[in-house]
Structure 1
Amino acid sequence: MSSVSGDNAILVLTNLPDTSSAEKLAELLISEHLAACINIQAPCTSMYKWQGKFEKVHEIPMIIKTTQSHYPSLQATILKHHPNELPEIICVTIADGLPAYLAWISEIDQKN
């Protein structure tokens, strides 16, 4: 495995209801130095049961690259600005990757 000094890089996954709100959230997270990079994906269809009712909605997935130390603030910011009552927020540890890219993600720690 690659070893990156400093914080561990993570991916945070969430979905927004439309491209405009996804772009606004991405700009906020990057400008606040809570994320190094955010991929706004093509629309997808999500199906789930919510409060006893079957739901089928179109959403915009986001892949957020950040560090473990930024996760609490990033999660709080998503919760504050997300329109859903219970938004999907999933954190995934990056086990390995291109060392230079992982180091670049960790550079957001130096910007605070």
Structure 2
Amino acid sequence: MTDALLIRITCPSNQVAHQIGDTAVEKRLAACANIEGPVSSTYLWKGVVEQAFEHVLWLKSVTACWAELEALVIELHPYDVPAMVALPCTEVLGPFADWLHENTKAPAN
């Protein structure tokens, strides 16, 4: 197991995904941001089945940055409950892991 994380966040628009992704990279909380979409989403919200088109933001980061990334998403994301999940990376190509650590920083305590 490594400390690398692949973080998936659904966003209501390309603009929101870019704002969160750009800010995360600028603050070195993520080394990279990728945006996919739009994708069709169906979900239950307050007892009602909803459908929407969303954009998927993927952030490549490390475990030490999770708490500050979570706070950033809560601040910038318009949803009451953003869908933000982290997938731990069990294996990572060595040079990529080096790049990931060179381009992220753990928040100061």
Please report the TM-score for the alignment, with normalisation by the length of structure 1: 0.88
Separation in structure 2 between the aligned mates of residue 65 and residue 85 of structure 1, nearest angstrom: 24
Name structure 1 gaps, 5 residues minimum.
none
SS at 1:91 equivalent:
strand
**Pairs aligned (count):** 107
Higher strand share: 2
- Distance (whole Å) between structure 2 residues aligned to residue 64 and residue 35 of structure 1: 6
Show CA shifts across 1:20-74 (max 9, x none): 1111111111111110001111210110111011100100001100010000000
Counterpart position of 2:12: 17
Q: Identity of counterpart residues, as a percentage?
A: 25
SS of 1:29's partner is helix
CA distance in 2 between counterparts of 1:62 and 1:50 reads 21
Task: State how 1:11-50 maps to structure 2 within 5 Å.
Answer: 11-50=6-45
Aligned-residue RMSD, C-alpha: 1.8
Shift in Å at residue 109 of structure 1? 2.4
Matched, 1:109 2:105: yes
Do residues 55 (structure 1) and 50 (structure 2) align? yes
Match of 2:76 in 1: 81
